[in-house]
Amino acid sequence: MTDKFYLEEAIEDLHTLLDMTRWATSRFNDAALYFGHGTDNAWDEATSLVMQALHLPHPILEQVGDSVMASRLTKSEREKIAELVLKRVQTRMPLPYITNEAWFCGMPFYVDERVLIPRSPFAELIQNEFAPFVESTPNTILDMCTGGACIAIALAHAYPEAQVDAVDISTDALEVADINIQEHGLSHRVYPIQSDLFSSLEGQKYDLIVSNPPYVDAEDMADLPEEYHHEPELALAAGEDGLELVDIMLKEAPTYLNDGGWLFVEVGNSEVHMSERFPGLEVIWLEFENGGSGIFAVQKDTLVQYFSSKD
């Protein structure tokens, strides 16, 4: 049967929110889609699509219970949902790009194909205010490789008095960052800056630097599911071992950190290459209650001592 048949059949025969969610789940499973951009299974993906298509608040199921799933939909609502489902199946485009919405730290953000879709364990770190490592409230924060500025904005909400610099090499990404900064009313505290890592930050000092840089190594890039090829390669690929930018970051970060300052970096699966690239460097690998891995913490003094011993 053709996609057009499935589309017309769904619009004609299905009537409730539950009907459309179940139908979308079946279509996603039938198409063997990959999930990893905010959801990890077909049912959650379908639920998210339906809620966003109908402009329903994200936590509505928790607020009113399953009774909302019996709500009847108009024909135009069914058509809208069916068209979005068809687009997800035919293009394998991640759902947040289709709806231009992604959630991070419990907040909605605008996204499109100019930026990576947020999915970092950094959310848990931010919500826990980087405990037990960062003991004093940071006044100056740098989000390196900010993309759409989701991490930078979440940091600004977590630390209401802090100034946050949101740095990226991509002017396209910074256009999306500016949309989000304006939408969250933070243009007075979150500053998008175009820079190749630290190159445009001469003289700046930070209490806290965080980064979710490109870290996918060559082998993993070759094996990525089709959905990931909709994301900007500039935000993913980082050479043979995934640590090209991290190497520069670790060497230069001490210059931009205040005394006692911390650097937190996500390297994902490239964690396995860290000991080869930086033998003897003592970083702290973090564990997460909500899942995720591949983020390390290191303090300024540790970096200074390590790289001074290499001179």
CATH T-level assignment (fold) for domain 116-308: Rossmann fold (3.40.50)
User: In the chain, which residues fall in CATH 3.40.50.150?
Assistant: 116-308
Element (H, E) at 25: helix 17-30
Interhelix angle 3-13/17-30, nearest 10 degrees: 160
In terms of phi and psi (left: phi > 0; alpha: psi -120 to 50; beta: otherwise), the region of 154 is: alpha
Per-residue confidence (pLDDT) for residue 65, from 0 to 100: 60
Q: What is the pLDDT of residue 230?
A: 87
Query: How far is 281 from 298, CA to CA, in rounded Å?
Result: 9
235-241, Cβ contacts within 8 angstroms, sequence gap of 24 or more:
235/115, 235/116, 235/145, 235/147, 235/170, 235/173, 236/116, 238/213, 238/214, 238/270, 241/217, 241/270, 241/273, 241/276, 241/277
Amino acid (one-letter) located at 260: G
| Cβ atoms 90, 3 nearer than 8 A | yes
In the chain, list all ranges with CATH 1.10.8: 3-99
Whole-prediction pTM: 0.90
Query: Which tokens go with 76?
Result: 């135009």
Q: Is the CATH number of domain 3-99 3.30.565? A: no
For CA atoms 268, 273, 277, 283, give the dihedral sign.
Answer: positive
What separation in angstroms does the CA of 78 have from each of 44, 59, 68, 82, 200? 18, 21, 16, 6, 50
**What DSSP character marks residue 16?**
B
Residue whose C-alpha is closest to residue 98's, from 112, 77, 117: 112
Those residues with Cβ within 8 angstroms of residue 255's Cβ, 6 or more apart along the chain or in another chain: 198
Count CB atoms within 10 A of the CB of residue 152: 29
Tens of pLDDT along the chain (311 residues) come to 556 656 677 777 778 999 999 999 999 999 999 998 989 999 999 999 999 999 887 666 666 566 788 889 999 999 999 999 999 999 999 999 999 999 999 999 999 999 999 988 899 999 999 999 999 999 999 999 999 999 999 999 999 999 999 999 999 999 999 999 999 999 999 999 999 999 999 999 999 999 998 767 677 777 788 888 888 776 666 566 678 889 999 999 999 999 999 999 998 877 888 888 899 999 999 988 887 778 999 999 999 999 988 76
